[in-house]
């Protein structure tokens, strides 16, 4: 498991307390997590760009748009060939 270490001289963004912020690496999420033991404030810093998450986001955005675009064209095409 990740080791939580206090950052010497670090100041909490939330309460301004010094030497109360500890940080640790979350290897499964590829992030650095920081936590203030004084006020409980915590934040997350990305260690590296998560490629998988980016791909999923792109697919989610493009898929519905393509479906709506293609379907009406196919329906018109099918009824047209039936009449002829
Ligand atoms: Zn704090």
81 alpha carbon to ligand 1 midpoint, in Å? 69
56 alpha carbon to ligand 1 midpoint, in Å? 34
* Residue linked to tokens 């920081």: 34
Say what the alpha-carbon torsion angle 40, 46, 47, 49 is, to the nearest 10 degrees.
160
42 alpha carbon to ligand 1 midpoint, in Å? 8
59 alpha carbon to ligand 1 midpoint, in Å? 38
Q: Are 70 and 62 in contact (CB under 8 A)?
A: no
**DSSP conformational letter for 11:** B
Look at residue 52 and give its three-state secondary structure.
helix
pLDDT higher than threshold 70 for residue 72: no
- Which residues lie below 8 Å from residue 41, measured CB to CB, with a gap of 6+? 12, 13, 14, 15, 35
19 alpha carbon to ligand 1 midpoint, in Å? 10
Domain boundaries, the chain: 1-47, 49-84
Q: pLDDT, tens digit, for every residue of 23-71?
A: 999 988 889 999 999 999 999 998 876 566 555 555 555 555 555 555 5
pTM of the model: 0.53
- In CATH terms, 1-47 corresponds, of 3.60.15.10, 1.10.8.60, 2.20.25.190, 3.20.20.150, to 2.20.25.190
User: Cα–Cα distance between 73 and 81 in angstroms, integer?
Assistant: 13
């Amino acid at each position: 498991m990740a080791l939580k270490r206090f950052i010497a001289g670090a100041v909490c963004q939330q309460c301004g307390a010094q030497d109360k912020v500890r940080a640790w690496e979350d290897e499964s999420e590829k992030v650095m997590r920081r936590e203030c033991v004084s006020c409980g404030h915590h934040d997350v810093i990305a260690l590296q760009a998560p490629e998988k998450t980016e791909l999923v986001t792109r697919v989610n955005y493009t898929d519905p748009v393509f479906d709506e675009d293609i379907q009406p064209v196919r329906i018109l095409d099918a009824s047209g060939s039936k009449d002829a």
